[in-house]
């Protein structure tokens, strides 16, 4: 058994989901890369179906430098990174993926750069001289560069690769950002930079992004949406919760769906207005439910029978919301308020009601 002779100077946080085939190899690579540095490797696993947490615990039995934070009922890369950092006392913390695409050999150089004392955070960068994107598709490269331009507008930090998921920082720098973190989406680096009360001193070290060896990429078509959610949270989050903004945007789309179905049935198929209105309402509510399940509550997404139960509860919530809408609008109109303002007030009440009650009954925290 390998013994930890000294407290860990460096903690490497690895958020995982279905990485059972990779964790053993990653531990071996870190062990080879840092033979004379006191390190610990903290896997933060979101209850992977493939048993990643169990594999990591088996590794921890043979090497006490390996630790596991097993999360249940919670999802998200950024929040996993935060929990992993808070679970260790090491003065330096690194974040890297569990898919072996980040270069563990770079960890030593990153630590040495931080130990000079003149930087707070070191980023493994794909976009500085000597770095590379590996086998990324042209589409993913374009999406990454677009997101990078948006990131600079938010952080105002001169950084070539603010979308990098490979970084190392001083604990005291992280703790300064911690109270203001959003933990929305998957880009913890951008969150840390945007949350720092004083701009962080940042350095970049080039590395080549490697091809995934096992498992499936967790990057999908919705990561750009999560990224935009983070930008919205940093821009408006002090005033309005980002989930509410997303919920309201979906609701606006639902209004369009409602009128489209209503027009098709009433004008196109010449159904009675009451039938057309009832069908349009049901379709719009269902559309809102499915879109909120995909976008607004992506980290609490309902599946299987939970999806059916959620749809039923969402319909009930919206029914009460519609009653509140009508009641408030009618009352204001009776008080001689302008009809359009009365209608808008009713809509506002129903949106707030639907958001609050669906968070309690439909997408309640598990």
Where residue 26 falls (left for φ over 0; alpha for ψ -120 to 50; beta otherwise) is alpha
Q: Can you tell me the distance from the alpha carbon of 217 to that of 219, in angstroms, rounded to the nearest whole number?
A: 5
Q: Return contacts of 222-225, CB within 8 angstroms, 24+ apart.
A: 222/294, 222/295, 222/298, 223/185, 223/186, 224/143, 224/147, 225/295, 225/298
Provide the token pair at 61.
């039995």
Q: Can you tell me the distance from the alpha carbon of 8 to that of 165, in angstroms, rounded to the nearest whole number?
A: 22
Burial of 72 (0-12, 13-18, 19+ CB in 10 A): exposed
- Tell me the pLDDT tens digit for each residue of 79-135: 889 999 999 999 999 999 888 888 899 999 999 999 988 899 999 887 766 655 655
What's the pLDDT score for residue 220? 47
What's the pLDDT score for residue 242? 75
Query: Residue 47's Cα: distance from chain center in Å?
Result: 16
Is residue 46 within 8 A of residue 16, CB to CB? The reply is yes
Query: Residue 28's Cα: distance from chain center in Å?
Result: 29
Q: Can you tell me the distance from the alpha carbon of 119 to that of 291, in angstroms, rounded to the nearest whole number?
A: 42
Residue given tokens 């029978």 in the structure block: 305
Residues of the chain under the 50 pLDDT cut:
1, 3, 215, 217, 219-220
Q: How far apart are the first and last CA of the chain?
A: 38
Q: Can you tell me the distance from the alpha carbon of 17 to that of 80, in angstroms, rounded to the nearest whole number?
A: 11
Phi/psi for 14 (5° steps) reads -125, 100
Sign of dihedral through CA atoms 125, 128, 132, 133? Answer: positive
């Amino acid at each position: 058994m390998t013994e930890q002779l000294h407290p860990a100077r460096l903690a490497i946080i690895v958020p995982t989901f279905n990485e059972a085939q990779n964790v053993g190899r990653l531990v071996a690579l870190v062990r080879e890369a840092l033979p004379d540095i006191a390190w610990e490797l903290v896997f933060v696993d979101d209850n992977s179906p493939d048993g990643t947490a169990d594999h990591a615990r088996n590794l921890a039995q043979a090497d006490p430098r390996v630790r596991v934070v097993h999360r249940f009922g919670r999802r998200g890369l950024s929040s996993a990174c935060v929990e992993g950092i808070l679970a260790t006392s090491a003065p330096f913390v690194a974040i890297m993926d569990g898919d072996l695409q980040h270069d563990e050999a770079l960890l030593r150089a990153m630590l040495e750069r931080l130990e000079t004392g003149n930087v707070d955070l070191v980023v493994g960068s794909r976009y500085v001289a000597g770095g590379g994107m590996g086998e990324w598709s042209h589409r993913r490269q374009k999406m990454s560069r677009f997101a990078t331009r948006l990131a600079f507008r938010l952080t105002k930090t001169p950084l070539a690769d603010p979308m990098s998921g490979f970084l190392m920082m001083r604990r005291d720098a992280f703790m300064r950002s911690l109270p203001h973190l959003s933990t929305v989406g998957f880009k913890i680096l951008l969150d840390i930079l945007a949350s720092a009360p004083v701009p962080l001193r940042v350095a970049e070290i080039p590395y080549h992004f490697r091809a995934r060896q096992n498992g499936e990429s967790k990057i999908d078509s919705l990561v750009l949406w999560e990224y935009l959610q983070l930008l919205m949270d940093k821009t408006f989050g002090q005033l309005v919760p980002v989930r509410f903004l997303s919920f309201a945007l979906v609701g606006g789309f639902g209004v369009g769906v409602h009128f489209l179905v209503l027009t098709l049935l009433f004008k196109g198929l010449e159904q009675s207005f009451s039938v057309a209105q009832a069908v349009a309402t049901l379709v719009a509510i269902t559309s809102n439910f499915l879109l909120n399940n995909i976008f607004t509550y992506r980290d609490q997404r309902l599946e299987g029978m939970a999806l059916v139960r959620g749809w039923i509860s969402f319909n009930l919530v919206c029914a009460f919301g519609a009653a509140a809408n009508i009641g408030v609008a009618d009352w204001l109109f009776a008080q001689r308020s302008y009809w359009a303002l009365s209608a808008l007030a009713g809509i506002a009440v129903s949106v707030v009601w639907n958001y609050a009650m669906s968070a309690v009954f439909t997408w309640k925290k598990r």
